[in-house]
Amino acid sequence: MTAHADLSPTLQLAIDLIRRPSVTPIDADCQKLMMQRLGDAGFALEPMRIEDVDNFWATHGKHDGPVLCFAGHTDVVPTGPVQAWQNDPFDALIDENGMLCGRGGAADMKGSLAAMLVASERFVKDYPDHKGSVAFLITSDEEGPAHHGTKAVIERLAARKERLDWCIVGEPSSTALVGDVVKNGRRGSLGATLTVRGVQGHVAYPHLAKNPIHLAAPALAELAAEHWDNGNAFFPPTSFQISNLNSGTGATNVIPGDLTAVFNFRFSTESTVEGLQQRVAAILDKHGLDWHVEWALSGLPFLTEPGALLDAVSASIKAITGRETQASTSGGTSDGRFIATLGTQVVELGPVNATIHQVNERILASDLDVLTEIYYQTLIKLLA
């Protein structure tokens, strides 16, 4: 491994962050390190500890111009079996193939945080009188319930009528090469727990019982076969998936009294929460079921159409890597869904996502220096 002092500033910082075991919602002083660096660069700092979650908001520049925010999270998912890793998950090693390894968020997403911070340090030094503001919104609650992290900070910023024009979220958006894909939106996520009630009884006397499995099966099949929408130029059609199905007492001679089905919609801007809920209810009623649904909305769909932010990011990727980027709305949810509620243009740009949440999470170390340059050029295009 290359000596720490011989590495680029971005890689040095990434390794320092990865070596802190910040399993959600623990921050392990990652934010303390970041705030120290940002404070030294002249940023105004505002720690926001909400319940058991560490967050901070930092700004540099003028209050009368556009705001470009870098957003991300210091928390990581659990390591899984440590013995399955080639090295300690928090060692942050660069192997003989130039891969930076570590559960501390090599890909998701301390590598991006390091690149954002180093790019911003350099930008405010090179352009001390830049237009508008550079901001950071960092949380330790993205990989967990996400109640007291970015969502809560955004609510506070909204109450203060803070301006937030553009936001780059450091999620690992790239597929094969850094910058080949950026996310310019995400589908909404609407979950549900459905309970279908029957009447428990003996399997030998079915006329005295109502089997909720038999009753629910046609309705579930219809829900699975339903065409919810056609999607649009930016989003694929809305999907419906059943993830859990439970019924029965464990005995082979008992008709169960109820059935529970857990399902999820990943929905486009062509559908609404209310519309999906009404259509589900109509199908369940059509089959004459005794049912109840508990709904859980994780996030609404959002979209950043071509404009100043997407143009600046795409041009920077082209200038640094020579490749055209593809804007995509695929994948799961991110904290971008909360930031977009302010009317902010949001894109996600980060390292290759091939190993996120896997054992031996890793990225090409040199990609973080490329990412730093892309962030730096984007800052120049929007605020210099």
Q: Which residues are catalytic?
A: 75, 142
19 closest CA partner among 113, 91, 108: 91
Strand-strand pairing, 291-299 and 254-255: unpaired
115 closest CA partner among 379, 310, 322, 336: 379
- Spell out the residues 6+ positions from residue 242 whose beta carbon is closer than 8 angstroms to its own: 220, 223, 224, 261, 262, 263
Contact 77, 357 (CB under 8 A): yes
Contact 302, 337 (CB under 8 A): yes
Q: Is 217 left (phi over 0), alpha (psi -120 to 50) or beta?
A: alpha
